[in-house]
Amino acid sequence: MKTSIATVSISGDLREKIAAIAAAGFDGVEIFENDLLAFDGTPADIGRMVRDHGLALTLFQPFRDFEGMPEPQRSRTFDRAERKFDLMEDLGADLVLVCSNVSPAALGGIDRAADDFRELGERAAKRNLRVCYEALAWGRHVNDHRDAWEIVRRADHPNVGLALDSFHTLSRKLDPDSIRSIPADKIFIVQLADAPQMDMDLLYWSRHYRNMPGEGDLPVPEFMQAVASTGFDGYISLEIFNDQFRAGSPRAIALDGWRSLVNLMDTVRRREPELAISLPAMPPRIEAKGVAFVEFTANETEASELAGLFRGLGFAKAGQHISKDVTLWRQPGADSSGVNLIINTEREGFAHAAYSVHGTSVCAFGLTVADAQATIERAQALGAQSYQQAVGPKELQIPAIRGVGGGLIYFLDETTELAKVWDVEFTPVNAGDTPPKPAGLSGIDHLAQTMNYEEMLSWLLFYTSIFATGKTPMVDVVDPGGLVRSQAIENENGSLRITLNGAENRRTLAGRFIAESFGSAVQHIAFASEDIFATAKALSENGMAPLEISRNYYDDLEARFGLEPEFAERLRENGIMYDRDENGGEYFQLYSPNYGEGFFFEMVERRGGYSGYGANNAQFRIAAQKRQLPPKTIPKL
């Protein structure tokens, strides 16, 4: 597999773009004409810069409004083409992209267009250059790759081929299997882009909302399966127009692009193993069974506060690390597969470094996976950064990678000694004379990670490329200070759920959390309750008062869902929020008070197959949480 990306796909000046593309691991780069025009050196300088970074110059683009023009415009298009060829020779590029004509002056007719391309091929051949033709989804006469291929076929020139672009095919809902009959040697380059499914003008959709394969909703794997079936072995390139990416980090976006291509081609190879796809071996996407533990970093004073909060939630101290200032907390009577919380007060190492930056916070969490070593291998193959910390006698080396906000994700499996970590590294302790009342929390329903909105697509791709998970549709969470975008990553049976919440400004509760905690992180943990009313009772007996929700919310709830007054009153008395889906599935939510800079716990119960996250309740929950903030810390609206 040979990878490439267009310079239009990422931010920065051309020097920054080339450096980022090379650092990400691409083999080649497309030079977009606007980047060349804005560059303060010569085309030859650009060519040298590309080659000095170890990259091939895969394509120069675009050449617009060429085929089917009447005279005198037709003659002028060939004059323009010769100027482009001069430029390509200076660059050291041998392939130019011609996109289908959108000019009102363009004349239709496949034979007329084929004649133009045959002549263009002759002119290109004299300079050892090649031309590829792309059907724009909004082309005036040609907007279908099948028509573009027919023009190339009739032109019948060795220096004229086809450029296939997934967006132009899939946005028009064309059948990608029609590509399978195209000879591989006539496909000169393949350009890929995904996009969220939207009903809007094709040109506007394309220019603002394209994203990396796997980040959107288009069937890009099916498109690439069709291309690969032809035997095509040329450059697979990304051409991404996205306002968000234009404001992002060039290196981060370039790495996302490279990761998306590797993940895409791995998917294609596994769907059709008989296809000849050159790609380094890697394990398949990893089955993650759920969250094994969550680790907090704190100093001694705040660790005591956290411990009090844990006790209120029904957790008891269950173990002390054999050599570190690390304690294990667990629901009394629960085994290690239930809910494990860790408080780390070490004064050196990763957790201490995280505390120095973020204060008391979640610095890591662990996932139970089928094979921890395979997880690390796949993550590394996709560009994730692995992590190892020095271990002492009798301690286990637990595989880990860097995740959101630089936090760690550890991997435990059930087939190695990692499954025994709680017995190996922790000494059991007595819960005390008055252990808290168990709250019936059976596991972690979901982790909620808060980040800047610009990061969401990167982390969505991160999770879905490494783990066997899917993504839910994005929803808007209404905060009195603005909108927060939310999207969940889930495995098939719902044992792993991670919600990504993207803040667009610091006036929202999520934005304030990022600003005050100095970065993206886990903002809340949702525990699964076996009986939400029994949980509420246990929390009350443990001395924890729930988040106070407005009485008006419950009055509306009763009317909206037709609840029995006694049931609605029971919800209100216990501070429990309620939602119901169209199939009758029910969702119950109970919140702890805020801790620190907006961190909180949630207890949820799902009934009847409810699969959402109570987005309808978020606005009212956030309003209640903001009322709890000290007046001086409430962001100005």
602 is in an annotated binding site: yes
Q: What stretches of 218-357 adopt beta strand conformation (E)?
A: 235-238, 288-297, 316-321, 326-330, 340-344
- Residue from 440, 400, 5, 479 nearest 239 by CA: 5
Cβ neighbourhood burial of 554 (10 Å; 0-12, 13-18, 19+):
buried
| Distance separating alpha carbons of residues 602 and 522, to the nearest angstrom | 13
Using a CB cutoff of 8 Å and minimum separation of 24, what contacts does 434-437 make? Answer: 435/316, 435/332, 436/311, 436/312, 436/313, 436/314, 436/315, 436/316, 436/332, 436/542, 437/314, 437/538, 437/541, 437/542
Q: Which amino acid is at 18?
A: I
30 is in an annotated binding site: no
Torsion angle defined by CA atoms of residues 263, 269, 272 and 275, in that order, rounded to the nearest 10 degrees:
140
Q: Are 315 and 329 in contact (CB under 8 A)?
A: yes
- For residue 551, CA distances in Å to 201, 238, 355, 572 come to 45, 52, 38, 7
- Residue from 68, 172, 168, 165 nearest 120 by CA: 68
- Residue from 34, 32, 98 nearest 69 by CA: 98
Name beta bridge partners: 602: 526, 591
SS3 label, residue 2:
strand
165 is in an annotated binding site: yes
Residue 269: left (phi > 0), alpha (psi -120 to 50), or beta?
A: alpha
- For residue 379, CA distances in Å to 277, 292, 459, 479, 496 come to 20, 19, 13, 35, 18
Cβ neighbourhood burial of 559 (10 Å; 0-12, 13-18, 19+):
exposed
Name beta bridge partners: 90: none
586 is in an annotated binding site: no
157 is in an annotated binding site: no
- Report whether the peptide linkage leading into residue 332 is cis, meaning its omega lies within 30 degrees of zero: no
191 is in an annotated binding site: yes
- Phi, then psi, of 496 in degrees rounded to 5: -125, 120
| Distance separating alpha carbons of residues 209 and 28, to the nearest angstrom | 24
Q: Are 93 and 128 in contact (CB under 8 A)?
A: no
Between CA 591 and CA 600, with CA 597 as vertex, the angle to 5 degrees is 20
| Distance separating alpha carbons of residues 8 and 37, to the nearest angstrom | 12
582 is in an annotated binding site: no
At 589, list the tokens. 């939510």
- Binding-site members for Mg(2+) are 446, 524, 602
- Binding-site members for a divalent metal cation are 134, 165, 191, 239
- Binding-site members are 134, 165, 191, 239, 446, 524, 602
